[in-house]
Structures are given as C-alpha cells and as structure tokens.
Structure 1
Amino acid sequence: MNSPILHFISPPIPYFVDCGHATYAAGDYHINRNCIGVFDLIVVLKGTLPIGEDGRNWNLQEGEILILHPDGHHYGSAPCTEDTKIIWIHFQTFGSWKECTDMDECLDNQTQLIESHKQKAYLNHADVCSIFIPKHMKITAKAKEVLELFFEQEHEPQSLRNWKRQASFQLLLQHLDRDLAFPSDATAIQLAERVELFIRCNYTRDITNSILQKELNYHPNYLAKSMLKVYGMTPMAYLQNYRLEQSKRLLLQTAWSVARIAEEVGFHHVSHYSSRFSKKEGLSPSGFRSKFIRER
C-alpha cells in the first residue's frame, strides 16, 4: 500500500493525548471539523469509513489506519454504507514534523528537518533521530495487540492509566515505524544502526572507512549507501557531525579550552575543528560558548 509518510524527529517522542471508540450506523457521516490541534489516528475495527482531509479522500476498510493532521480540515467524504466501528487516538508532538510523498523525500529533507527541530525544541546539543509513520496503512497483528492495551487499562486509576497509555502509545509508534520498512530496507537499516553505534562508542578514536569495513565486514560503498538511506549522510560525515555535537556539550558543560575540547572529541588540529564548527553553526566554538554561558 503506497502512502505518504509522516516524518517526526525525536526527542521528544510524539505523545499520547486521548483515545476512544466511535460507532456509525449506515447513512452516518464522520464529524466535520477543522484544526483540532492534535493528530487523529483512526483504526477501523468493523465496516467502512469514508473520510477526507483537505480535499483528499479515503475509504477506510476494516483493519486500516489513517493519521489526520492537527491543522487540517477533516470530514466524512460520504455516508457510511454499513455499521462501522473505529478506535481513535489523539496525539501531538513538540518540534518539527513533515508529511512526505515517500521515503526518498523523507531522507532528502532529513537534515533540514533535524536542524529545524533542534531550534524549535531547544535541543542544541542532543542526539536526535527520525520516526517514519505511514499516513495510511494496514494494521499488523503486533500493532493491533498494542491497541488493545489502551482499553484494557480503562479500569485503572487515572494517574496509573495515563502512564500506561503513554507507554503503550510509544510502543505502538515503534511498531508502526518498523513496519514501514520493506524487507529490502531492513538490512540497510540494521547495518546503518550498527555503523551509528560503532561511531558513537568510538568517535574519539581515528575512524576510517577501512576500519569500518574491518569491524562490520561490509564494503565501504555499501556502508555509505546504507547510512545515506537511513541518516542522510555518509559514515565519515556522520562521524564529523557527531564529534561536533559532542563538542557542543563540552563547550556548555565544561570550562575546558577549545583546543582541549577539539582533542577530546577526535580532532587532531584545533584549526580544523574551529573551521568545521564555524561552517556548521555559523559562529566559532568560543562564540557558541559565549552565546549560552554568562560570565560571573
């Protein structure tokens, strides 16, 4: 099933707001509403639900999921032709998100979306990652099991129920995110994650494409292709970016000199570090520090 993809950046992870059931008799329409302020995840449990958003229409069948925008116009595009039952889950996110036509567009825009997210979510030096959720898809057995948890918790005390539903919602997102990957993408995703983990654990060392090939037993060209597909950059570009991000932590959390910080994160020459930092951030390491740290 080809579908647009909702591309979220986390942290923070999109969070649960509310959930419930709705039923429609033959002849009923889905409610007409505009800019409800939350994402609306709809799952059809029984029957068929004709629904539209901003001029696009779907005829949701049993077992299908659709996610509607918080700032869109939602409406019944036609009357139900049979008795229909749905689950709805409202959720929201803080920071940046984008709907893309396909995964290629998601990856092409990933770097820009991450930078926008860091500004909006005040994550100047945090590690972030992408979550890819199909706008329209068939629910899997595992995701359906998680959905059932939302309503098994109905008789829990309110405070406990809210905690459990947040946890269930995050688990649901994880299943929807992973279910998006085609079998041909799964190996690339797993390999890119192995590369990312190796870099994160060893970024202070000298890392080259040859070292990655020896450690992971894959040709550098395939490693680069996998990283580009998942992270939007090659292993060496990811390494440099990660070192710069770690240096931002040290600039804000220590009084170390710029030269020491450059060495601590894996740069051999402070001039090279300063040049790379300035190109990425638009100001020098010292300028970045003074922007956020007030002298006593």
Structure 2
Amino acid sequence: MLVLEIPVPPLPLIATVGHTLWPPGIVHARRQFDAFDIIICVKGTLYMEENGIPYDIKEGMVLVLEPEKMHRGYQPTDTETEVYWIHFQYPGFPQPALIDKTNWQQPLLNRTDQDIEVHPGMVDIPKFTTIDLRQILPLLTEMIHVHSMLSATRSYELQILFGRFLLELQYSMRNRSPQARSLSLGEQVATYLTEHLEQPFDATEMENDLHYHFDYLARCLKQYSGMSPLQYRHHLQIERAKQLLAHSELSIIQIGTRCGFNDNNYFTRLFKRHTSFTPGEFRKRYQFIVLD
C-alpha cells in the first residue's frame, strides 16, 4: 500500500479543516500549494487528479494530495457529494516520502522510565484507501466544531484531535492490510507474554490459551515485533528487572524471581548480555532510591 511515511518528532500540524456538500455538476478547482491536503468523501464521488493521475474518491475513501503537486477535478460530480478536507504541514526535513509499504512490524524501542530524550517514531498516512467512517466522522465533526471557535488554547486542542485522526487512519489502514490477521494475533501473543512474565515459559500452555499452534503464534509475533516469543519474553524480563533494580529495595534474587527467572546465575548472564552491566552494577549506577 502506498503511504506517506512521516518521521516524528516533529509532529505534523493541522492548518485548517473544512466541510462542504456539493450538488451534481461541481468540478474541483485547479490549484497547487505548499501543504498536504487530506480529502475524505462521506457521500457521492469526487473526481480528482494529481499530476495527471486520476482518483475516484468514493464514499468512505480518503486521498492525500501532496505539496507542490498540481491537483484538480477532472470530471464534474454526478451526484450530491459530501466531503471533508484537512490541510496540514510537516515542519521537519526532509519532507515525508511516499513509499509502497508491505511491512507493518512494530519493533520494541529501548526505553527506561528515566529517559530525557524523545524516542523517534513514525506516522504512516495512506495515500488513497478505504476508511471506517464510523470511527472517523465523530472526530471530523469535533474538529470542525473546535475550528469554528478557534483560540490559542483550542488551537492546541485541534492539534490533539488531528493526532487522534491520524491514529484512526493508521488503525483503519492496518486492519485492511493483507497481514491484518497475523498482526492482530502477534499483538495478542505480545500481550500474553507480558501478562505471564512471572510464570515459566510454556509453549504448550500458550497454544491452549490462544488456540493456535505455537509455530504459527511465533510467526505472527515475529511479523508484529521482529522477535521470537523467547526473545520478546527476554526483552520484557530485562525491562522489568531494570525498573525493579532502580525503584525497589528487593534483593537481586527476589527481582530475578519476579521477572520469571528461577536460576539467578542465568538471570545475571542474560541481564549483562542485554545491558552490559550485571544487576548489581546496574543498581549502583541507576538506583533511584537511597537505601539506609
């Protein structure tokens, strides 16, 4: 699927949002400007062209027009057509790239609860696709309302609503991708491993609880996160151990047990492999509390 891949931060920022109901016979104006233009059709069909490429934006579809590209209506509306539009800017450099995306993997980022630098992220906006209007329309209605009485404070509120709108576009796009089922199951596996971290790893029990063969569950998690179940579990264990070492008075053996390690030597080796510190060294360096 063609998507605009937007690195964040900085965040894409909305400039305006609008709504109109066009009778039959209307042709969209020819224009070119320095902003992204999202067009959402909720009734009828809008016939648009961008740099010579035609798009029939039917009910329940969205098209993103790109800055500096010439767009225009190439054919009059033949029925009553209702559309919303959003103009937004991306203040970063370089500008978002249009790519053919096939990989929807969600690898985990290395993070702690003491981070002071912002973690890099990505927003994917579909170029042209079908969307779920049941989720999108309430947001558009609220954005129109806020925009109609815009103030400095409500301008910030509008930006937050726009962020939610972009998230809904991503969810809708992912749920319609060929990998939707495996990604959803991969997310279930990730949640399962998180909730069962203190118990011993048991592939058979996971099969019984999630009702799929373990090999298939492992493939889905790999597609979702880039990790095998054991790799994902180890990542979760180390992250929980780091938090307990920094924020609790529990002994290292107790922490290992709470993170699902029955063998303290194995816990120490794995922790050092992932962090380059032993648990004791990590505690001395990062402990947040002072022990008497």
TM-score (norm 2): 0.68
**Among 243, 257, 261, which residue is 1:249 paired with?**
243
**Among 278, 282, 289, which residue is 1:288 paired with?**
282
**Among 211, 215, 229, which residue is 1:217 paired with?**
211
Structure showing greater radius of gyration is 2
Within 1, Cα distance between the matches of 2:132 and 2:201? 40
Unaligned residue ranges in structure 1 (runs of 5+): 34-39, 52-56, 69-73
SS state at 1:75 partner: coil
Q: Deviations over 1:152-174 (max 9, x none)?
A: 33345744674476246425513
SS state at 1:43 partner: strand
Unaligned residue ranges in structure 2 (runs of 5+): 21-26, 78-82
CA separation of 1:186 and 1:155: change in aligned 2, threshold 3 A: same
Within 2, Cα distance between the matches of 1:175 and 1:78? 22
Within 1, Cα distance between the matches of 2:243 and 2:252? 12
Within 2, Cα distance between the matches of 1:283 and 1:240? 16
1:147 Cα deviation from its structure 2 partner: 2.4
- Conserved 8 A contact 1:26-1:80: yes
1:239 Cα deviation from its structure 2 partner: 1.5
Identity of aligned residues (%): 14
1:201 Cα deviation from its structure 2 partner: 1.8
CA separation of 1:92 and 1:276: change in aligned 2, threshold 3 A: farther
CA separation of 1:4 and 1:17: change in aligned 2, threshold 3 A: closer
Within 2, Cα distance between the matches of 1:245 and 1:294? 15
- Asked whether 1:137 is paired with 2:134, we answer no
**Among 13, 16, 29, which residue is 1:19 paired with?**
16
**Among 95, 112, 115, which residue is 1:122 paired with?**
115
CA separation of 1:248 and 1:15: change in aligned 2, threshold 3 A: farther
Q: How many residues align?
A: 266
1:5 Cα deviation from its structure 2 partner: 6.3
TM-score (norm 1): 0.67
1:268 Cα deviation from its structure 2 partner: 1.5
Q: Quote the RMSD (CA, aligned, Å).
A: 4.5
Which range is displaced more, 136-145 or 253-262? 136-145
Q: Deviations over 1:79-120 (max 9, x none)?
A: 6657898622537799xx99763233x43xx53xx437x49x
Q: Which aligned pairs between 1:187-266 and structure 2 lie closer than 5 A? A: 187-266=181-260
Within 1, Cα distance between the matches of 2:233 and 2:247? 21
